[in-house]
Chain A
Amino acid sequence: MSETAISVRGLVHTYPSGVTALHGVDLDVGPGERLAIVGQNGAGKTTLVRHLNGMVRPTEGEVRIGDWSTTEKSIAELAHRVGYVFQNPDEQIFARTVATDVGFGPKNLGFDEERARRAVSDALEAVGLAHEADVHPHHLSLSERKRIAIAAVLAMQTPIVVLDEPTTGQDDAGVQLIAGIVDSLIAQGRTVVAITHDMDFCIENFDRVVVMAQGEVRADGPAEEVFADVAALEAAAVEPPQLLRVARALGWSGTPRDARAFVDQLTQQRGSGSSA
């Protein structure tokens, strides 16, 4: 089994406080897939993805990363296969310069000096912070620190990358940057799993969407299908992306995923002169 594949079976997780965050989740993610997980706060999304690098252990069930079962490996070992970008960058960043911080992961993973240096510069380039390499992270804004956190994980060059709400607090340019990063990760053959509340970002960048509510998976499939599953969306208190809502209101049957696709469909509709 490829080391980039994820397999979750019957996953149940109960926190020490007694709250059961996951009520039996099954999920298979193939190598090179791009998957978005959506749902209300408290639905269990973060609990689920934290199992992927061992930060949370199953109460019941099993999580496998490639041929590894997560219960048999430490978090540091799993970090070789799964890179996790935290929602709050200040929990992750600690070094005195941006470059040192981004280099922390590669160093721990045993990259030799040359490889580490290149990984750091490539990562900083990818997030648009190459010119801030020697700056103290605290001198940068929150959204820039979020990008440092992403760079820090990119530099680790893991086969699987988990992004926990990557676009919150980002301006338009930042969101596009992150979309570009997702694209390039997929182009490199990596698997990307992202939690997001931004449905527009979701439908534009992810082929597969998993909808969660109350610790369970309510829908799992191609974006087009999932966003048509009214029951699942309602259970998860999630609204479909803007353009999809417009298309539905216009009575269209297709699922335009971005502005271009929408206008293409509009052209078609006008050409045919029908509303089908």
Chain B
Amino acid sequence: MTTTTLYLERTSALHRLNPVTKLVALLSIILAVFAVPHWWIPLGIVAVVIVPAAVLGRVGGRLLRLFLILLLPLLVVLFLIQGLFYPDGSTVLWEWGLAQLTTEGLLFALTIGSRLTALVLGSLVFVLTTDPARLMSALTQVGMSPKIAYVISASLQIIPAFQARAQSILLAQQARGLAIVGSPLKRARALLPLLGPLILGMITDVDERSTAMEARAFGATPKPTSLIVVPDPVGERVARWLMFLSAIAVVVLVVVGVIA
């Protein structure tokens, strides 16, 4: 894998959607979820929107695995800390020394936790079903600056390139007798001198690369053409506006006090 994304290549309805539509959907969900104070709303959205989307996008299995590895431990810690040590807790259910299990704490944890779950799972579904190349093309099609797209794309690719280079350098030094054994501290100390030239190398490369980019007319026009055209049906464009407006409406309703 030469990019740092979790993208899984599949054929699905979700994969076919214009990436900007998916992005707007995600942002709308996040906006709504963080605006509304009830803890069961985000969980409802996860159950009714996000999980079905994952299934539709044929990434349900990976999503579950990522949830168990990334999110579940976090949620457990959250519940333990907020449940047991919540400062404004008054209704105590159980005590043990300094720890007090309070309903307020649990409620707080539930609110934060459900929002976090919606945010993380929603973002994961987005990333799992969206090809970064198509995302960049779609964004520039709707008006994002190609320079910003460049920065994002190059950042995604630079990490694996950096890793590959670090790996080569490590291999080369082992071939000169550098032994990578012993305690982690020893290993770190052995690798430290390699860090300088690795970073220095990347920096000098930047200079050469920017020259090469000039040679290929990068930045010559703010509106370059694109080899990849991402289809953007009218229906999706309408849907984007609807989602965005709905999210704004929800926020307004909360602020005004209709939803409390």
Contact = CB atoms under 8 A, between A and B. Distances in A.
6 contacts: A55-B174, A75-B174, A76-B179, A90-B201, A94-B169, A94-B197
B197 A93 contact: yes
B196 A75 contact: no
Interface in B196-216: 196-198, 200-201, 204
A218 interface: no
A92 B172 contact: yes
A152 interface: yes
Contact of A79 (B165, B169, B177, B201): B177
Nearest to A77: B179
A5 interface: no
A75 B179 CA distance: 8
B178 interface: yes
Contact of B176 (A77, A88, A138, A152): A152
Contact of A55 (B175, B178, B194, B198): B175
Interface of A: 53, 55, 74-77, 79-80, 83-84, 86, 88, 90-95, 104-105, 107-109, 138, 152-153, 156
Nearest to B175: A84
B4 interface: no
B171 A79 contact: no
B166 to A, nearest CB: 10
Given A88-B168, A91-B172, 8 more contacts: A55-B175, A75-B171, A80-B177, A83-B175, A86-B175, A104-B173, A104-B176, A109-B177
B180 interface: yes
B201 to A, nearest CB: 6
B193 A95 contact: yes
Contacts of A108: 176-179
B179 A74 contact: yes
Nearest to B195: A94
Contacts of B173: 92, 94, 104
Interface string B152-196: 000000000000010011011111111111000000000001101
Contacts of B179: 74, 76-77, 108
User: Which of B168, B172, B177, B197 has the most chain A CB atoms inside 10 A of its CB?
Assistant: B177
Given A91-B168, A94-B169, A108-B179, A76 B174 contact: yes
Contacts of A109: 177
A76 B200 CA distance: 25
